[in-house]
């Protein structure tokens, strides 16, 4: 920090401390005169509801109605006799009639600050400018705000401070409130969409004895009483498929999962996703379901099939493209031939030219995936299903009947980002056991993200998992897309930050 900026910060801190001290004096006066933090006021109306119900009525109609309302909220502005109150739904004004209230109360109201939380009861009317207001006939201070809010014209503009002090961000920034309201609506839509199709919502353990369900590095903790290590789940997949074995043929979980990886605009160590499994279905059925789900979010939550993200607009009304991983590489890399892509030595040279550090234990499938991630992923702009992922990099997916080199798996992309991963489940216990063993070998070779061998899951498969398809959708990324947010921190209320 430069000396000039340091001096400005120190001056700002000194000014803020002075304002806090003044507000503490006001709080002490409240403590002396009455209960400084009362909890007896009960509102009966919300700002948005009042605006929707009465804003179109004329001043004369409102006088004739003589409608009373009890509102509560935070003072966001004072404009002469008008106080702008903000509650969880929006804003409404309150009018201070100095002649209608006692002198002592008016004197106290004059000391109230921006940020204080008050309750108001009175009749609804309109100002000369046509703004709806609730007249102060009964009014009470409910919570004294000791810290001043950021300057009203600029709000909380420091991005890092917005994430660290989300409570202030939500007070000051309407766009932030809209993002998280949309997030809630998307999650509710997901829940309703699946429930209407006979999926049953469940909860599975967040602490696992064996980390599994995805290839990622887990967070490790310890259970003191049992004296054993435990791992925060990286995915609920193996528990959900155990439930399908048990006869819960359509099951889903909206879950919080944890992966001990780096931070980025797309990654947070803990994140939210929905995973669902459907017996007697394959990955084609889930691609159809995903198209229906995405269009439903567009229509029911967003209200448009054209989704704007950054400088691009994506149309969800036309059929989503479906293309194999191999064909997508050939499509976006005309300089690569199919012969080169299907020969390990030739594919290795291509990958190395792209800057990939090819390990000795990489098979052709792993190399193809690396080439795909380097040259294709970011170019998949329109809604696209990429299918036929190599078996080598799909340890839980069912092999394709015609070509066992690949699996019946898809990943769903929009705007160059992966949003979902789904596949026909591997339900052959012997094949799954061999895949787990291969993962263990990779872990022994130094791959921290490879899976462990889960003997109990193999036991469950031996009782019989019906033909099943499963999918996971990243909710945080979904909210990013549908709210035009460009970092995951904008859609998580309390993202992880480096301590200060």
Could you tell me which residues come within 8 angstroms of residue 287 by beta carbon, excluding any fewer than 6 positions away?
A: 320, 322, 385, 410, 412, 422
What secondary structure, in 3-state letters, does the chain show? CCHHHHHHHHHHHHHHHHHHHHHHHHHHHHHHHCCCCCCCCCCCCCHHHHHHHHCCCCHHHHHHHCCEEEEEEEEEEEECCEEEEEECCEEEEEECCCCCCCHHHHHHHCCCCCCCEEEEEEEEEECCCCCEEEECCEEEEEECCCCCCCCCCCCCCCHHHHHHCHHHHHHHCHHHHHHHHHHHHHHHHHHHHHHCCCCEECCCCCEECCCCCCCCCCCEEEECCCCEEEEECCCCHHHHHHHHHCCCCEEEEEEEEECCCCCCCCCCCEEEEEEEEEECCCHHHHHHHHHHHHHHHHHHHHCCCEEEECCEEEECCCCCEEEEHHHHHHHHCCCCCHHHHCCHHHHHHHHHHCCCCCCCCCCHHHHHHHHHHHHCHHHCCCCEEEECCEHHHCCCECECCCCCCEECEEEEEECCEEEEEEEEECCCHHHHHHHHHHHHHHHHCCCCCCCCCCHHHHHHHHHCCCCEEEEEEEHHHHHHHHCCCCCHHHCCCCCCCCCC
Average pLDDT rounded to a whole number, residues 136-152: 92
> What's the pLDDT tens digit per position in 449-466?
778 899 999 999 999 999
How many Cβ atoms from other residues are within 10 Å of residue 427's Cβ? 18
- CATH topology for 3-149? OB fold (Dihydrolipoamide Acetyltransferase, E2P) (2.40.50)
What secondary structure, in 3-state letters, does 27-69 show? HHHHHHHCCCCCCCCCCCCCHHHHHHHHCCCCHHHHHHHCCEE
Q: What pLDDT is recorded for position 470?
A: 98
**How many angstroms separate the Cα of 111 from the Cα of each of 34, 74, 119, 476, 500?**
16, 15, 16, 43, 35
pLDDT at 443 over 60: yes
d(CA 242, CA 463): 10
Per the CB < 8 A criterion, the answer to whether 82 and 72 are in contact is no
Instruction: Residue count of the chain, please give it.
Output: 500
Average pLDDT rounded to a whole number, residues 102-128: 95
Average pLDDT rounded to a whole number, residues 369-376: 98
**Domain segments of the chain: what residues?**
3-149, 172-333+376-490
> What's the pLDDT tens digit per position in 374-424?
999 999 999 999 999 999 999 999 999 999 999 999 999 999 999 999 999
Question: What rounded mean pLDDT belongs to the chain?
Answer: 93
d(CA 270, CA 104): 52
> Which of these, 426, 441, 424, lies nearest to 363 by C-alpha position?
441
Per the CB < 8 A criterion, the answer to whether 208 and 233 are in contact is yes
d(CA 108, CA 115): 15
- What percentage of the chain has pLDDT greater than the value 90? 83
Q: What pLDDT is recorded for position 153?
A: 45
> What's the pLDDT tens digit per position in 411-435?
999 999 999 999 999 999 999 999 8
- CATH topology for 172-333+376-490? BirA Bifunctional Protein; domain 2 (3.30.930)
Report residue 11's pLDDT band, with 50, 70 and 90 as the boundaries.
low
Strand pairing report for 417-424 and 468-474: antiparallel
> What's the pLDDT tens digit per position in 290-308?
999 999 999 999 999 999 9
Could you tell me which residues come within 8 angstroms of residue 361 by beta carbon, excluding any fewer than 6 positions away?
A: 441, 442, 445
Strand pairing report for 250-258 and 270-279: antiparallel
Q: What pLDDT is recorded for position 9?
A: 57
> What's the pLDDT tens digit per position in 54-80?
999 999 999 999 999 999 999 999 999
Angle between helices 237-245 and 455-463 (to 10 degrees): 30
How many Cβ atoms from other residues are within 10 Å of residue 17's Cβ? 10
Per the CB < 8 A criterion, the answer to whether 321 and 382 are in contact is yes
**N-term to C-term CA, the chain:** 15
């Amino acid at each position: 920090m430069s000396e000039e900026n340091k001096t400005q910060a120190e001056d700002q801190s000194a000014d803020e401390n002075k304002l806090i001290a003044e507000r503490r004096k006001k709080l002490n006066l409240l403590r002396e005169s009455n209960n400084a933090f009362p909890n007896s006021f009960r509102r009966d109306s919300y700002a948005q509801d009042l605006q929707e119900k009465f804003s179109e009525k004329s001043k004369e109609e409102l006088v004739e109605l003589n409608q009373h309302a009890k509102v509560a909220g935070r003072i966001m502005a004072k404009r002469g006799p008008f106080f702008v109150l903000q509650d969880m739904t929006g804003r409404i004004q309150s009018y201070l009639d100095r002649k209608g209230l006692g002198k002592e109360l008016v004197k106290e109201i004059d000391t109230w600050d921006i940020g204080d939380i008050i309750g108001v009861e009175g009749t609804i009317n309109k100002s000369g400018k046509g703004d709806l207001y609730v007249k102060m006939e009964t009014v009470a201070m409910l919570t004294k705000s000791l810290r001043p809010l950021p300057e009203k014209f600029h709000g909380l503009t420091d991005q890092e401070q917005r994430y660290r002090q989300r409570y202030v961000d939500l007070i000051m920034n309407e766009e932030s409130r809209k993002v998280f309201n949309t997030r809630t609506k998307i999650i509710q839509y997901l829940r309703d969409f699946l429930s209407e199709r006979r999926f049953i919502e469940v909860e599975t353990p967040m602490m696992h004895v064996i980390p599994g369900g995805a290839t990622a590095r887990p967070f490790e903790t310890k259970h003191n009483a049992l004296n054993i290590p435990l791992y925060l789940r990286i995915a609920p997949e193996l528990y959900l498929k155990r439930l399908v074995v048990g006869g819960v043929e359509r099951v889903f979980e909206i879950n919080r999962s944890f992966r001990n990886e780096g931070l980025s605009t797309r990654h947070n160590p803990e994140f939210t996703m929905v995973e669902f499994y459907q017996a007697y279905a394959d990955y084609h059925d889930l691609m159809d379901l995903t198209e229906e789900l995405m269009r439903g979010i567009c229509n029911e939550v967003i209200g448009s099939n054209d989704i704007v993200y950054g400088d691009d607009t994506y149309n969800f009304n036309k059929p989503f493209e479906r293309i194999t991983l191999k064909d997508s590489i050939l499509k976006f890399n005309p300089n690569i031939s199919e012969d080169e892509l299907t020969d390990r030595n030739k594919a290795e040279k291509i990958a190395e030219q792209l800057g990939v550090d090819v390990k000795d234990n990489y098979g052709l499938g792993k190399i193809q995936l690396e080439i795909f991630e380097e040259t294709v992923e970011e170019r998949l702009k329109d809604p696209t299903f990429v299918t036929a992922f190599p078996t080598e990099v799909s340890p839980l997916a069912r092999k394709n009947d015609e070509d066992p080199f690949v699996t019946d798996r898809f990943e769903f992309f929009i705007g160059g980002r992966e949003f979902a991963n789904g596949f026909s489940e591997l339900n052959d216990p012997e094949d799954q056991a061999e895949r787990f063993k291969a993962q263990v070998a990779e872990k022994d070779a130094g791959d921290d993200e490879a899976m462990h061998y889960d003997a109990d899951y193999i036991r469950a498969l031996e009782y019989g998992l019906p033909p099943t398809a499963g999918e996971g959708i990243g909710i945080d990324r979904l909210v990013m897309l549908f709210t035009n947010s460009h970092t995951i921190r904008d859609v998580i209320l309390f993202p992880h930050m480096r301590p200060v």
